[in-house]
Amino acid sequence: MSTPRSLLCLLGCVLLAGCALGTQRFGRVIDTKRIASLEVGVSSKAEVLRLFGPPTSTSRLPVVASAESTAPDLAASSEPDSNVFVYEYREDRESFFTAILYTRFRRDVLADRLMVFFDARDVVRYVAFAQETGAKDAE
């Protein structure tokens, strides 16, 4: 008679257990093939907008004088602040498992980030890219 009771107990445990997997995506995938077409000192802000669209965010970074400079105020004021376009694509990967009193939750946040720095003439000064997601290039 213990077999039906064991089956009922097992069925109850299965009904009290659950799991879920999911990925939430934020932003647009950054087309890595287009990054190669950006040329430092040549490409303009208009080109960057045409290639990647509007940025996720923008920033204005102040120029900081170097430690070797004898007149730090003069060095910092001679070079204008840099404008920065930031493009970001993020994936939040979540897994969840629960069984009666045991719960396991895991969340991995992966991001791709493209930063394009411009000089005072709105010409590309520096390009930085970091990829964590392994997302396929945009088509």
Query: What are the boundaries of each domain within the chain?
Result: 28-87+112-130
pTM (two decimals): 0.67
* Cα four-point dihedral sign 38, 119, 128, 68: positive
Residue position matching structure tokens 């204005």:
60
pLDDT at 114 over 70: yes
* Cα four-point dihedral sign 116, 120, 122, 126: negative
pLDDT at 12 over 70: no
Mean pLDDT of 48-73: 74
**pLDDT of res. 23:** 83
Q: Are 40 and 126 in contact (CB under 8 A)?
A: yes
- In the chain, the percentage of residues whose pLDDT exceeds 90 is 40
